[in-house]
Amino acid sequence: MKRKKKTKAPVNTAKETQERYRAYIKSIKLLFEKMVGPGYFEMLSPKLLAQFYKNRYPALKIIIDDDVIADTQSRESYRASITGLIKKCTLTLPSGEQIFISTFFTDLALIVHFVEFLSSHCIKEHVKMRTAFAPYLTSGDWLFQTKTRAFYTLSFTNEQFYDPIKGTLQFDVSDLALTKPGGRNQIRLRRLKNKLDKQEIDGFARPIVAIGDASVFVGDWTQWIQFDPARFGITHISDAEAKPLYIQHHALNRFEERTYSPKGFIQIYLAQTFIYGTPEVIVYRGQVLIACYCARHKVGYFLVSYHGDKWIIRTFLFLTNEGTPEGTKLKEIIGLEKEDAKYLMIDRVTAFLDYDIEHDQRLRDLFETAGCGSLFEYIKLFVRPEDGVKNSASIANYLFGKADEYGESIQI
């Protein structure tokens, strides 16, 4: 006799639905309490809770078209990267509580839209509720500022795919539920065409690209950065008018080589710094330098020069390089020359990652005294296998041996 095939037990869909419903309502109650404290969730009737569940916003979805990232593996890698970022990144509510960005784009957005647009029609104490939720409403500063910071954080996922020729990746959030209540909660990734030009420098036509801001709320370039010498007290240039800021391809490559960070970081960093902050600009030995910070850690300077109708970032100088105040200090203390820095690989982040410089007290004191201590914080952003980090004694012996030959008194 043939054995009868075992059939799977029927799934109790009603039971599963009830369990999902209870879990969702529990999470909404917790979010209510994180946002405004206890007592407000209880204003929602069972009928309203059922509507919350029925109309809940879908999870955030990233749409990547083939013409943006053509390679399938690269697309999946990108999607995994940004999904991981969304799952682990948190933000702080006005109450001081922490939530994940994923919650901000879904459940928090739904609550905010309900309180602002619907609560007056279905909650007796809607005035009390609106008062409690006032910091979160779309007319308040918190929601706009938090959206901007969240998009700014997500935008750095795009830096690895930046290409001065192919273009800049940026999001279009026009179909995001938080931007358009009831939207499909999708963010579409787009490739924007860069503003390219050429400039004759040292007798050669050099390719350059404009620094600009591509707003996620518009999905296109919205502002090209102007470099205003008067803003930074630059007086040795007779032309005091603000001019467009460009960057030479050479500078993009030097930044990537010397910091091990993607060159796409520069486009986002400079645009955001010029628009929303105050760049740290100095004139050092006749050269205009813009300080560069990666995750708030100073890593070097962009060298900028005036070219009549524009300002151009010519190169990127690592913090220890010749031509920076810190590089000069290293030379004053220990006689460090350009060739020495190159030989030891301390003219870039390489030696700081490959060797345990931060654990050698003499070396640490040396670099901190010269103003390069931020590099010890910067390297913490990288994964360094413990068994792969080399002893820095050879670097110390070279430098301090050279200092003895240099004939200077080392005071650290």
Q: What is the pLDDT of residues 19-41, one digit of tens each?
A: 999 999 999 999 999 999 999 99
Give pLDDT, residue 12: 57
Q: Pull the structure tokens for residue 262.
A: 């993607």
| DSSP codes, 136-185 | GSTTSHHHHHHHHHHHHHHHGGGGGG-BTTTBEEEEE-TT-TTTSTT---
Question: Which residues have a Cβ under 8 Å from the Cβ of 351 and sit 6 or more positions away?
Answer: 344, 345, 357, 392, 395
d(Cα 272, Cα 151) in Å, to the nearest integer? 12
Query: In the predicted model, what is the mean pLDDT of the chain?
Result: 90
Intra-chain end-to-end CA distance of the chain, in Å: 91
Residue 69 has pLDDT above 60, yes or no: yes
More confident residue, 132 or 84: 132
Question: Which residues have a Cβ under 8 Å from the Cβ of 216 and sit 6 or more positions away?
Answer: 151, 155, 170, 171, 172, 173
In degrees and rounded to multiples of 5, residue 217 shows phi and psi of -80, -15
Residue that is written with structure tokens 């869909």 in the block: 13
Q: Cα–Cα distances in Å, from 340 out to 38, 119, 166, 398?
A: 64, 69, 37, 9
Bridge partners, 172 (sequence order): 188
Q: Please write the tens of the pLDDT for every residue from 297-330.
A: 999 999 999 999 999 999 999 999 999 999 999 9
Note if the pTM is more than 0.85. Answer: no
d(Cα 224, Cα 109) in Å, to the nearest integer? 31
Q: Please write the tens of the pLDDT for every residue from 384-393.
A: 887 789 999 9
Give pLDDT, residue 412: 47
Question: Which residues have a Cβ under 8 Å from the Cβ of 157 and sit 6 or more positions away?
Answer: 78, 81, 82, 85
d(Cα 408, Cα 243) in Å, to the nearest integer? 44
H helix runs in 66-140, sequence order:
72-88, 101-103, 109-117, 119-122, 126-132
